[in-house]
Structure 1
């Protein structure tokens, strides 16, 4: 709760939020040595990879292997952890609170709208993991730039250069190839995965429109702090209505296996650290570096998931995923040159 745009990461995991705006300039401090700076950046990247891949694999394990078949409740747990941990982090931060608080009811309404879209995309992504292997889920998720470009044109009339649109052709073609070669294809899971990808793209576009003014800018962690409670308020009644036996099953699983609650807690906390590490990596690297790291992260997630879950893969499927990743790289290059 892999989202989230100005999305620098072409393989967003279900819980991740995009970085929206720059954080306030820090006060002057002694510059760290180049070696310590590189080590710190490497540690951030490793943490980013570990949290992203960890939450993705744990989601898959809980939803399709362990038998916890409640994606709404799982997403509610993720959002609850994000709400609590981001609030604690804000209180522990030396930054003045006034610098990160919404400035009007109108801005709060906009954040609530973004929270609803984000919530829907995360739920759809978790539902898809019940039916699709992680490798195919990542291949479909890599098409986020395609849907972002389409929605930016449809919603905001924002045009890209012809070369940028042309670079999106292999993005879609690769998923078409991967779909034809996917031995574990599930139509409903595929529809939900596409819906999650479209939701992340829509959130990106709306975020650019709704929080574009200088007075309303927030960094991604502040945005998460206000969006997560909105998501919880939407998810709890939805869980009670659509997954009525979820809480009873959780109580039963906790009695049978006390480690289940720790597994769920770890999974929920990882959902927050996905956002935190994404924010820190974005802050300490360049957009191009983040693009390359994002491409590599998706590939690593695919390989690790295949090794762990042993889901069958075909040469055609992996070829399709490779074509999609190549298209995403071309798209990033075309966008960079068009600016």
Structure 2
């Protein structure tokens, strides 16, 4: 029964991840609701409401904030998290999901670079070598991408950088055992800060979004259904992320995440029928192979460090 539960959690995590990416792309590009900051704000609002409900119901054990310094650290992470999600959603306005996922695979490269610059933590030479095909694959895919867009490329690259920065800062700022929070508690405490930043950003960057959102809700029940489903899935990504880590391990989550990118690429091509050249496919393949190699090298490095 335990294995069935674990497989069910992994399947839910996969489905939520891929579906929320595809629905984001549909709303921001195909449907024409071109307000990525507002969409991120709605995601965060739903995440805040449902995470509080999960804690209130006792499904997730609540962890307390350990003072003012701890709260400031969480606020810093919230701002970086907002930047990563907003940039990722902006990129979906301009580039296909397949290309978005390929660029996002460069996150380990930024993680290794930022770890070296910020924490002075050095990886093994083999680990650094495995980052080469990841970058090479993205360069090939970018050159061969039929729907390449400079704004989409830069914002997606920025999202990958921000995700890597969040990971490094989380390890740096929340290193004390008393300060460590699971993903759901971290999300619950980050949500108010993230919501404040997102509301202010929406008012400044997308002032028409609120009116268009209201009109779309009045005119289309389909829009309301898709947006609500999208927001619920965004929360479910965070919930199942925590459950997968609990049932397996952080390393397994990383490996599954690498494979998830490949699934999202294929799903995007099938659903949106965006053109993909043979050279782009080669680039995607090289990047995915690099990610697998990187995961294995990283795992061996951690084992060697423990011995």
| TM-score interval for Structure 1 and Structure 2 normalised by the shorter chain | over 0.9
**1:81 maps to 2:81:** no
Deviation at 1:258, TM superposition (A): 2.0
Q: Distance in 1 between matches of 2:182 and 2:52?
A: 14
Alpha-carbon displacement from aligned partner over 1:302-322 (angstroms, at most 9, x marks no partner)? 111111101000111011011
State the alpha-carbon separation in 1 of the partners of residues 250 and 199 from structure 2: 36
2:18 counterpart residue number:
53
The residue aligned with 1:19 is: none
**Which secondary structure state, in structure 2, belongs to the residue aligned with residue 216 of structure 1?**
coil
Report the counterpart of residue 259 of structure 2 in structure 1: 296
Superposed CA RMSD:
1.2
SS at match of 2:34: coil
Tell me the equivalent position of 1:10.
Answer: none
Structure 2 residues not aligned, in runs of 5+? 303-307
TM-score (norm 2): 0.96
Task: Say whether 1:69 aligns with 2:34.
Answer: yes
Where is the helix percentage greater, Structure 1 or Structure 2? 2
Tell me the distance in 2 between the aligned counterparts of 1:67 and 1:288. 38
Say how many residue pairs are matched: 302
Alpha-carbon deviation of 1:219?
0.8
Instruction: Give the Cα separation in 2 of the matches to 1:80 and 1:146.
Output: 31
Q: Distance in 1 between matches of 2:14 and 2:60?
A: 27
Match of 1:197 in 2: 160
Q: Does 1:162 align with 2:121?
A: no
Q: TM-score, normalised by structure 1?
A: 0.87
Report the counterpart of residue 22 of structure 1 in structure 2: none
Q: What are structure 1's unaligned runs of at least 5 residues?
A: 1-35
Match of 1:275 among 222, 225, 238: 238
Change (3 A) 1:335 1:225: same
Match of 1:181 in 2: 144
Whether the 8 Å CA contact 2:255–2:295 is kept in 1: the answer is: no
Following superposition, the deviation at residue 42 of structure 1 comes to: 1.2
* Aligned ranges 1:1-339 → 2 under 5 Å: 36-93=1-58, 97=62, 100-339=63-302
Query: Alpha-carbon deviation of 1:67?
Result: 0.9
